Each structure stands twice: as structure tokens, then as C-alpha cells.
């Protein structure tokens, strides 16, 4: 009994210590990021590395301010090539995924081809794209597309191909056509897989566009970093990396948010039921 009264007493005290009022889980990503920069800064100070090898974060931020105009312009360019490539990948991936998942025969026939295609390093395709389209935004967009559409295809096709046979039986017994089953069950069912794959795809799209910009473009963060590197402007290279990380995180968060909004049901139910 005395324990109970004691508990009520403590919870009733108005001024809780500060440490308890902070939501540490929410704060953790920021704290860890700051921690990383602090550790990096300290490392540079202790080892006295020259800025041409590893610039301190303070030096990198200074470079961001100093070169803000080109950084901003190139960041937008990379964001543009990435999102366009990604958008094409979403449309094509969805279409091809639905096509492949449509029937067991198509799935069996095209799957190995897809795997083989995915095994090709997309960097190796950039020279070919340059031959076809010249240097610039087009190879970057296409590389972003090529590298990011595969996970979308695989996920959509898997969602379709794994419809529970019993669900299919119930509907077929009612006279449902293949198209009915796809519309009523297959497509809604594959949506969580689809939206889940967008998170993976968008980060891959950045890899594709930046790789292509690095070797075959006069614009974009990739190009900016490679020319900064040739001028030994290492702080600017790191500034570019930082901007890429920021763009990547922002787009990932956007995709995660879309996923949550569109397929909340999948997080609260097990798909297997």
C-alpha cells in the first residue's frame, strides 16, 4: 500500500528532471549525426591531417558557404536527373513488374534474364549511353533509371506471384477472370512491396546519376566533385558528398512517408493471413 502512495507522489511532482522530459529516441538521429561530425573534427585535429587529404567538417561547411552558388546549382541538377530517372523507373518498373507477375510462364521465362541484366554493373553501360546520347543529362537520367528499376520490378512481380492459392480459388469459383483477380487481389497486394522498393530504388538512383555525371557530364554534383578533385579542392569534394547525403536522406524520408500513407494496413496486419 505504501508503495502505491509513494508512486503517485513521485508522478505528481511537477518539475521532472530535464533528462526525463526529452524524447531521446526522437532526438537520437540528430545527436548521433552531431557526434559523428565532432569525432571527425577531433580526429582531424589530433592527427593533423592536411585539408587535401581529409578536411575537417568545419572546413567542409566553410566550403559549402564559399561555393554555395555552384553547389546549389549542381545539387538541383543531380536532384533533377535522379528524380526523372527514378520516375521513369517507377512507371516502367510497375508496368514490367505487373507484366512479369501476370503469369507463371512469363515469370519463369523473364526472371533469369532480369537477374542477368541486374548483374551487369551499370557503370559499364555509361560509355554506351554516351555513344548513343552524347554527354549530359540524358546518360545520367538513364543510368539512374537502369539502376533503380530492377528492385521495383522484382518486388511488384513477387507481390503478384505470391497470391494465396485459396484466395484465388474463392474468386475463380465465382467466375473471376485473370484480370479480376489481378485488380482485386494482385495489385493491391503488391502495393506494399512496391512502395517498400521505392526506398531502395531512390538511393540507387542517386548512385546511378552521380556515377554517370562523374564520367560523362558537365553538370551535376558528380561532375562538380570530379573537377574539384582535379583541382585538389578536397573540401569542395566533401561538400558535394554532404549535399548528396542530404538529398538522399530527404528523398528516402519522402518515400518512407509515402509508403506509410499508402499501405498502412500492411504494417498492422501480417500479409500471410
The answer to the question of residue 166 lying near other proteins (CB under 8 A) is yes
CB of 260 to other proteins, least distance (A): 14
State which of residues 2, 48, 69, 273 lies at the interface with other proteins (CB under 8 A): 273
CB of 209 to other proteins, least distance (A): 34
Contact window for other proteins (CB under 8 A) among 94-102, 117-125, 161-169, 204-212: 161-169
State which of residues 29, 33, 91, 164 lies at the interface with other proteins (CB under 8 A): 164
Instruction: Please identify, using beta-carbon distances, which residue of 41 and 168 lies nearer to other proteins.
Output: 168
The answer to the question of residue 167 lying near other proteins (CB under 8 A) is yes
Q: What is the dihedral of CA 94, 111, 182, 163, to 10 degrees?
A: -120
Contact window for other proteins (CB under 8 A) among 53-61, 160-168, 195-203, 236-244: 160-168
The answer to the question of residue 126 lying near other proteins (CB under 8 A) is no
SS3 labels along the chain: CHHHHHHHHHHHCCCCCHHHHCCHHHHHHHHHHHHHHHHHHHHHHHHCCCCCCCCCHHHHHHHHHHCHHHHHHHHHHHHHHHHHHHHHHHHHHHHHHHHHHHCHHHHHHHHHHHHHHHHCCHHHHHHHHHHHHCCCHHHHHHHHHHHHHHHHHHHHHHHHHCCCHHHHHHHHHCCCCHHHHHHHHHHHHHHHHHHHHHHHHHHHHHHHHHHHHHHHCCCHHHHHHHHHHHCCCHHHHHHHHHHHHHHHHHHHHHHHHHHHHHCHHHHHCCCCC
State the binding string over 80-109 for other proteins (x if CB under 8 A, else -): ------------------------------
Instruction: Please identify, using beta-carbon distances, which residue of 20 and 273 lies nearer to other proteins.
Output: 273
Q: Is 215 exposed, middle or buried (0-12, 13-18, 19+ CB in 10 A)?
A: middle
State the binding string over 240-269 for other proteins (x if CB under 8 A, else -): -----------------------x-xx-xx
Instruction: Please identify, using beta-carbon distances, which residue of 167 and 227 lies nearer to other proteins.
Output: 167
- Max CA pair span of the chain: 83
Instruction: Please identify, using beta-carbon distances, which residue of 129 and 266 lies nearer to other proteins.
Output: 266
Q: What are phi and psi of 121, to 5 degrees?
A: -65, 125
CB of 105 to other proteins, least distance (A): 16
Cβ-proximal residues to 224 (8 Å cutoff; 6+ apart), any chain: 70, 71, 74, 236, 240
Scanning residues 169 to 228, which ones bind other proteins (CB under 8 A)? 169-176, 180, 184-185, 188-189, 191
Instruction: Please identify, using beta-carbon distances, which residue of 122 and 189 lies nearer to other proteins.
Output: 189
CB of 190 to other proteins, least distance (A): 11
The answer to the question of residue 156 lying near other proteins (CB under 8 A) is no
Contact footprint for other proteins (CB under 8 A): 164, 166-167, 169-176, 180, 184-185, 188-189, 191, 263, 265-266, 268-271, 273
Amino acid at each position: 500500500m505504501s508503495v502505491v502512495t509513494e508512486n503517485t507522489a513521485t508522478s505528481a511532482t511537477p518539475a521532472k528532471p530535464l533528462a526525463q522530459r526529452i524524447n531521446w529516441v526522437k532526438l537520437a538521429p540528430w545527436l548521433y549525426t552531431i557526434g559523428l561530425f565532432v569525432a571527425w573534427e577531433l580526429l582531424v585535429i589530433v592527427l593533423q591531417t592536411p585539408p587535401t587529404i581529409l578536411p575537417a567538417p568545419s572546413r567542409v561547411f566553410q566550403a559549402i558557404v564559399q561555393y554555395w552558388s555552384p553547389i546549389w546549382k549542381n545539387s538541383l541538377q543531380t536532384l533533377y536527373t535522379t528524380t526523372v530517372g527514378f520516375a521513369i523507373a517507377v512507371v516502367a518498373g510497375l508496368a514490367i513488374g505487373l507484366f512479369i507477375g501476370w503469369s507463371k510462364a512469363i515469370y519463369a521465362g523473364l526472371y533469369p534474364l532480369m537477374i542477368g541484366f541486374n548483374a551487369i554493373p551499370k557503370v559499364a553501360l555509361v560509355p554506351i549511353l554516351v555513344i548513343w546520347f552524347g554527354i549530359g543529362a540524358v546518360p545520367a537520367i538513364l543510368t539512374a533509371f537502369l539502376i533503380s528499376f530492377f528492385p521495383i520490378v522484382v518486388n511488384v512481380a513477387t507481390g503478384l506471384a505470391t497470391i494465396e492459392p485459396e484466395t484465388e480459388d474463392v474468386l475463380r469459383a465465382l467466375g473471376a477472370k485473370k484480370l479480376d483477380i489481378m485488380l482485386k487481389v494482385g495489385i493491391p497486394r503488391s502495393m506494399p512491396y512496391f512502395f517498400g522498393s521505392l526506398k531502395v530504388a531512390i538511393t540507387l538512383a542517386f548512385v546511378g546519376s552521380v556515377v554517370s555525371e562523374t564520367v560523362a557530364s558537365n553538370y551535376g554534383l558528380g561532375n562538380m566533385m570530379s573537377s574539384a578533385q582535379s583541382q585538389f579542392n578536397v573540401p569542395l569534394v566533401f561538400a558535394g558528398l554532404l549535399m548528396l547525403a542530404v538529398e538522399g536522406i530527404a528523398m528516402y524520408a519522402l518515400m518512407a512517408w509515402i509508403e506509410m500513407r499508402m499501405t498502412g494496413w500492411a504494417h498492422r496486419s501480417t500479409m500471410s493471413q
